[in-house]
Structure 1
């Protein structure tokens, strides 16, 4: 009897010890909630550091991929991106026979990658330190240390891969020369900011074959003739702009997502920081994960899929922007229709065609619908911290359509850029879901 009790005690002790190998869903270490807090911190730093939408998408991609890879280690239900994303030939594996916390390894890898890619390293480090303290207080020492070692190995591998994506090279490419012809993009008031990321189309893609794979229909030929198709599109923007109702204004403001809005008050000019379009869709991903109760690894998969989609969508869109170099409505309308007209939203500092919001939103909506299903109703509170009311949607597609048309209401895009951009994004999204194949 004593021998049987001793055997039972050993079995219970063994399984209790094994339970400590993984981070439990306790109040101190809340599983998926930790992943979402980590991604929110990345977003907050991106907003603080004022990264442009394309650069923000790059940060999200590498951070999310690092987190996903560490999270799925040893889980045969998920596939690694190694050998499937361009230039990513291999990733480190954890040492066999050692106990790990995949969750700790994942958030550790994410924050190490984030710290390497942002300006405000200390903000990331402070958050990181607090998070590690929570884990170390609730985890066996060897499990904790093994997780940190493996997380750093994954982060180092992801950063080495990122270093070869042509980002550093594009920093030294020739500055964009503003074209003097009437139909090309020109910097706009109030700050007349120079062209943002004119060489982004030269970045290495993640899954799509090239920046030109989903090249949209050609932009309308420029014309100042009042009978031309181009003039009519500009006139439509102008007419809509002077007749906006309160709902249309609310839609435009909700999806503005301008990382660096310049405000003018007399002789004083100051900036307002806001979330990027990519950051908005990353937050929508968090909303969806929380609504259905996704686990840590499921949420890591969702972030990675959406972030890769964002990155490739921005590369595709920016490639077209600096190929067609289409003049913005504000410039055209002021010159040919009404010199006093101003758009509701501040005109972004890059060419008009295609609409980045349309491309990115359509692509993300396709990928999220594939993960969570059609007719997925949710309330988007992303903009509440920027003093805008939440908006509710019956599907990701409805949200994407609203994000796209918001740019027309805002007076910063013609309809062809919105419609053709949306088509471009949908094609990218469908390609992504066919190619990404994270599950087995």
Structure 2
């Protein structure tokens, strides 16, 4: 009798255990979860006011961390190890059956992103809210997935530590040459030092070196009335005056404001000074990536692939553009126009604090467009609502190349670049983007 009771108790225990296991709901992770994580990191970068090159580094590393987790389970995508500069193979999962790789990818993304921004508490709060929701569904899967995500994140963070970023934090400030009229000078209203003068020393992701895509030289500096350079200077002045006549309804003004993407715009009114914080150019293209992924109904894996490939092209684009900026060290139109043409003239957009040539926004827009076109096709139309949060209307584009063309010309309309900087920058970025696309082997069936 006792034996039968013992058997009955054992059977009852297993039935209860199996029932409890069945009641543990599966953790479902979708592409929208990843889009939301990217948006969250972007919002923190806006809050922390990261300059465009630094922001591009944060996006690239965070996406790579998620990608490396994702492709361990995927049959469609290959690891970036031994493809991206100095990235060694990441640790493999011990028991794949216990791991939700999508969850682990999000964990890796947030953990790496958290390490690269200032306001860690904002990411931690967001992360913990996700942790609580996941843990309540399936604790065993959550713990195994989280631990694997953190393991990959540590591997990526160890790699990040060798990219020379920390070393550039202690390098000297950029020295302004006030004796040479062609050289960059700090611009109104804050006359800030040139930012990130040593960014060309940051380790690239795919390109061979910062100087691999040196653009053609800008027209030789000259203030002679018939010189090519002076004609470009007058074009900036005249275009600025002309589009302001059209008022706020001007299409050129709309284009300039839409692609401004200045993370810190300082406004001075008498004794009052306040700043407006916005997304960077790279963040705008990450926003476009989200829009396109959603329209394409891209799944979790394809979305991470698109973000990762594009963010690396953008990051290398900034390294290339910054290399040229501090090599050519060209003066901005605003400075020369105020000195030699019209002391009261102001550009439509606030001139950012670094040398003029080439236009970095043009470079990274060209690179991002090539990357996205390689995934979705160039003739992919989309409605760009990235700037709605800043009170700017949606703009429609029939292709990525059209969007990059508009981003480039916006710098001339805004009064912050000469035409050559926008056109040459766009070519520079497209050439770089093609190199990235051709040298990355990320798709299994490619």
Distance 2:132 2:111 in 1: 16
- Asked if 1:54 is matched to 2:58, the reply is no
Deviations 1:27-82 (A, max 9, x none): xx5x1110000000010000000000000000000000011111221223210111
* 1:178 alignment partner in structure 2: 176
Asked whether 1:438 is paired with 2:438, we answer no
Contact 1:108-1:151 within 8 A present in 2 as well? yes
Residues 113-124 of structure 1 correspond to what in structure 2 (within 5 A)? 113-124=112-123
- What is the Cα deviation at residue 182 of structure 1? 0.5
Q: CA deviation at 1:142?
A: 1.8
Residue 7 of structure 1 corresponds to which residue in structure 2?
A: none
Which residue is equivalent to 1:168?
A: 166
Mapped partners of 1:274, 1:161: distance in 2: 29
User: Aligned partners of 2:208 and 2:365: how far apart in 1?
Assistant: 20
* Superposition map of 1:297-316 within 5 A: 297-316=301-320
User: What SS class does the counterpart of residue 392 from structure 1 fall into?
Assistant: strand
What is the deviation of 1:90? Answer: 2.0
Q: Are residues 1:410 and 2:408 paired? A: no
Would the aligned equivalents of 1:23 and 1:103 in 2 still touch at CA under 8 Å?
Answer: no
Superposition pairs for residues 96-245 of structure 1, below 5 Å? 96=95, 98-138=97-137, 140-180=138-178, 181-244=180-243, 245=246
Matched residues in 2 for 1:212 and 1:23: separation? 46
Please give the alpha-carbon distance, in whole angstroms, between the structure 1 residues aligned to 2:414 and 2:432: 25
Give, in angstroms, the shift of residue 98 of structure 1. Answer: 4.0
Stretch of structure 1 that moved more, 278-287 or 129-138: 129-138
Which structure would you say has the larger Rg?
Answer: 2
Q: CA RMSD in A?
A: 1.7
SS in 2 for 1:243: helix
C-alpha deviation, 1:97, in angstroms: 5.1
Name the TM-score, length of structure 2 as normaliser: 0.92
1:70 equivalenced with 2:69 (yes/no) = yes
Partner SS state of residue 250, structure 1: helix
**1:112-166 residue CA offsets vs partner (Å, 9 max, x unmatched):** 111111100000000000111122223x222111101100011111111011001
Extract unaligned runs of 5+ from structure 2: 1-14
- Verify: 1:327 aligned to 2:331, yes or no: yes
Q: Does 1:388 align with 2:418?
A: no
CA displacement, residues 354-380 of structure 1 (integer Å, 9 cap, x when unaligned): 001110001100111111112211101
Given candidates 255, 259, 283, the residue that maps to 2:263 is 259
Contact map agreement 1:215 1:424 (CA 8 A) in 2: yes
Residue 281 of structure 1: SS of its match in structure 2?
Answer: helix
**Separation in 2 of the partners of 1:289 and 1:133?**
27
Structure 1 residue 88 corresponds to structure 2 residue 92: no
Q: Is the 8 A contact 1:79 1:438 kept in 2?
A: yes
8 Å Cα contact 1:98-1:146 kept in structure 2? no
Residue aligned with 2:242, SS: coil
Query: Which shifted more, 73-82 or 206-215?
Result: 73-82
Match of 1:376 among 372, 375, 380: 380
After superposing on structure 2, the runs of 4+ consecutive aligned residues of structure 1 that deviate more than 6 Å are none
Residues in 1 aligned to 2:357 and 2:175: alpha-carbon distance in whole angstroms: 18
- TM-score, normalising length from structure 1? 0.93
Q: Deviations over 1:86-118 (max 9, x none)?
A: 111221111135421111101111111111111
CA distance in 2, matches of 1:210, 1:97: 38
Equivalent position of 1:344 in the other structure: 348
